[in-house]
């Protein structure tokens, strides 16, 4: 929950506004003009959970100006992700510069056709058959071998590593990897809600990053056309046809390549970094991971081989639960519905706080405690709501199996490489505290440094 701050103290002294809208409670404590935005930036999950504790699982939250957005917690919110009574198509108008007309902002036949064309390389079988799992293992081992012993930001290392993996899988040359990495760092600033074009400000940098990325993707598309030997996501998109048998336009190709590369590395990099930071603070978990990683002769490259790393998988799922890369998603109601016993009209925008499901005590007893064993010894795969950090319904993350594969590979490889050197990870004394903040993704601070010290 929020610790006392001058900002929270100010909330308590503000004059009381209307407490309900359409029979649904309005979260108190909004600031003039900016509403609840300052409180929702950064510690978003704690803010949402605090709001539900104050007024219940369905509430209005004030945005900029007089705008408000409806927040729906719990299973009713998760059900909205199935898009039976909602749509995601509003995203192309709400975020034209960041998402545009890509897979994430399509529904119905258009979405199904495009997803079908893109999904092959990302299935468990596809990851193995295409060689993507082997490429991922190769990149991870090479990257970990270069880790310094002295203080370093694991987030910086994991971002470059994860982008390298997704480029290999997409069939894109890696010669400009560093440049792509830097321009993606700028581009993600476009996820911030404030769109003010001030030179060198966040939105200006995002537009500059997108312009560079789109120009490079356009060149890659031109070079790839006509190459019958090419494999990967880029080749799949070039071969894709819509429901009327037409090729994707260059704009479609660019927008989806940009989105796949972003989603395929930014979230995985965040979880890898958090996992390393957790291990640097928990010698007991490090010893368990180290012991498990010594038995197999190589990193896992198939679903069967993944089963030989149950603790690494459990640690991946537990870190993801506590440090989800995305805090929330949104849906637009296409029908009148009832949520938590209250009527909500068609046309309402609803925020579904994906990251809060991992803190639900009904799903995860003692949710604040990091305990990988809660995932071990299960006979069934995690339920859809337990994998809520990857979304739900038709827009469930295309790269779920890739993230699962590469993060387990990373954990096993990290333990093997560091253990081989006779070292262990440790947080650098005086380093930035590893607090979960969404700016805009749930990444650890780059100033949170770890070092490798004698075991």
Could you give the count of Cα atoms lying within 13 Å of 303 in the half-sphere of its Cβ? 9
Q: Where are the alpha helices (DSSP H) in 282-302?
A: 283-294
Per the CB < 8 A criterion, the answer to whether 233 and 170 are in contact is yes
Per the CB < 8 A criterion, the answer to whether 163 and 265 are in contact is yes
Flag whether 66 is in a domain. no
In angstroms, how far is the first alpha carbon of the chain from the final one?
35
Per the CB < 8 A criterion, the answer to whether 327 and 355 are in contact is yes
pLDDT of 86 > 70? The answer is yes
Read off the pLDDT band of 8 (50, 70, 90). Answer: low
The sign of the torsion formed by the CA atoms of 150, 154, 159, 164 equals: positive
Read off the pLDDT band of 67 (50, 70, 90). Answer: confident
| d(C-alpha 326, C-alpha 324), whole Å | 6
Read off the pLDDT band of 21 (50, 70, 90). Answer: very high
Q: What is the pLDDT of residue 242?
A: 66
pLDDT of 312 > 90? The answer is yes
| d(C-alpha 225, C-alpha 101), whole Å | 22
Q: Cα angle vertex 261, ends 256, 263, to 5°?
A: 90
Q: What is the pLDDT of residue 376?
A: 95
**For residues 64 and 418, which has the higher predicted lDDT (pLDDT)?**
418
Task: Record the pTM.
Answer: 0.90
Average pLDDT of the chain? 89
**For residues 14 and 160, which has the higher predicted lDDT (pLDDT)?**
160
What pLDDT digit, counting tens, does each position of 262-287 carry?
Answer: 888 889 999 999 999 999 999 999 99
Flag whether 34 is in a domain. no
Order of strands, sheet of 68-72, starting from the edge strand that comes earlier in the sequence: 58-62, 68-72, 349-352, 329-333, 86-87
Flag whether 227 is in a domain. yes
Flag whether 133 is in a domain. yes
Checking 67-71 for CB contacts under 8 A at 24+ apart, the result is 67/35, 68/21, 68/26, 68/35, 69/330, 69/349, 69/350, 69/351, 70/24, 70/344, 70/348, 70/349, 70/350, 70/351, 71/27, 71/350, 71/351, 71/353
Flag whether 368 is in a domain. yes
**Total domain count for the chain?**
1
pLDDT of 65 > 70? The answer is yes
Q: What is the pLDDT of residue 1?
A: 46
| d(C-alpha 261, C-alpha 251), whole Å | 16
Read off the pLDDT band of 186 (50, 70, 90). Answer: very high
Here the CATH number for the domain that contains residue 148 is 1.10.630.10
Flag whether 103 is in a domain. yes
Q: How far is CA 427 from CA 157, 249, 300, 302, 348, in A?
A: 15, 48, 28, 32, 45
Structure-token pair, residue 265: 């590395």
Contacts of 125 (CB under 8 A, 6+ apart): none
Percent pLDDT > 90 in the chain is 59
pLDDT of 9 > 80? The answer is no
- Expressed as residue numbers, the domain containing 203 is 73-454
Flag whether 35 is in a domain. no
| d(C-alpha 353, C-alpha 388), whole Å | 9
Flag whether 6 is in a domain. no
Lowest mean pLDDT among 147-161, 173-187, 236-250, 299-313: 236-250
| d(C-alpha 196, C-alpha 204), whole Å | 8
Q: What is the pLDDT of residue 12?
A: 62
What pLDDT digit, counting tens, does each position of 140-172 carry?
Answer: 999 999 999 999 999 999 999 999 998 888 878
Q: What is the pLDDT of residue 354?
A: 96
Percent pLDDT > 70 in the chain is 95
User: CA-CA-CA-CA torsion for 96, 445, 204, 48, nearest 10 degrees?
Assistant: 40
């Amino acid at each position: 929950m929020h610790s006392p701050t001058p900002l929270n103290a100010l909330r308590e002294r503000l004059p009381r506004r209307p407490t309900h809208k359409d029979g649904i409670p309005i979260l108190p404590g909004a600031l003039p003009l900016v509403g609840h935005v300052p409180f929702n930036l950064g510690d978003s999950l704690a803010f949402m959970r605090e709001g539900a504790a104050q007024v219940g699982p369905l509430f209005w939250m004030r945005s900029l100006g007089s705008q408000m957005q409806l927040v729906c917690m719990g299973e009713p919110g998760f059900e909205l992700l199935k898009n039976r009574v909602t749509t995601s198509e509003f995203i192309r108008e709400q975020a034209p510069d960041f998402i545009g007309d890509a897979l994430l902002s399509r529904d119905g036949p258009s979405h199904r056709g495009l997803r079908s064309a893109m999904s092959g390389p990302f299935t468990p079988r596809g990851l193995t058959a295409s060689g993507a799992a082997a490429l991922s293992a190769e990149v991870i081992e090479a990257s970990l071998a270069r880790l310094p012993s002295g203080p370093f930001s694991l987030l910086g290392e994991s971002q470059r590593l994860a982008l390298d993996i997704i480029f290999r899988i997409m069939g894109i040359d890696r010669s400009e990897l560093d440049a792509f990495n830097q321009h993606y760092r700028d581009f993600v600033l476009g996820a911030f809600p404030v769109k003010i074009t001030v030179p060198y400000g966040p939105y200006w940098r995002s537009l500059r990053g997108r312009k560079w990325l789109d120009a490079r993707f356009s060149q890659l598309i031109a070079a790839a056309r006509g190459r019958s030997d090419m494999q990967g996501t880029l080749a799949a998109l070039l071969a894709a046809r819509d429901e009327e048998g037409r090729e994707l336009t260059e704009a479609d190709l660019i927008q989806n390549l940009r989105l796949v590369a972003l989603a395929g590395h930014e979230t995985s990099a965040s979880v890898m970094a958090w996992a390393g930071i957790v291990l640097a603070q928990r010698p007991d978990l490090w010893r368990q991971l180290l012991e498990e990683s010594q038995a197999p002769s190589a990193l896992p490259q198939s679903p069967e081989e993944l089963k030989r790393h149950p603790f690494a998988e459990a640690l991946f799922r537990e870190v993801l639960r506590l440090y989800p890369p995305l805090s929330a998603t949104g849906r637009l109601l296409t029908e009148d519905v009832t949520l938590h016993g209250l009527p909500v009209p068609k046309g309402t925008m609803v925020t579904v706080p994906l990251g809060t499901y991992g803190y639900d005590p009904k799903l995860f007893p003692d949710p604040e405690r990091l305990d990988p064993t809660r995932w071990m010894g299960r006979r069934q795969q995690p339920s859809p709501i337990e994998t809520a950090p990857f979304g739900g319904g038709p827009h469930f993350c295309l790269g779920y199996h890739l993230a699962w594969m590469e993060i387990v590979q990373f954990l096993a490889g990290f333990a093997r490489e560091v253990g081989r050197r006779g070292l262990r990870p440790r947080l650098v004394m005086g380093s930035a505290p590893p607090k979960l903040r969404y700016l805009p993704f749930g990444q650890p601070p780059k100033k949170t440094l770890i070092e490798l010290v004698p075991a």
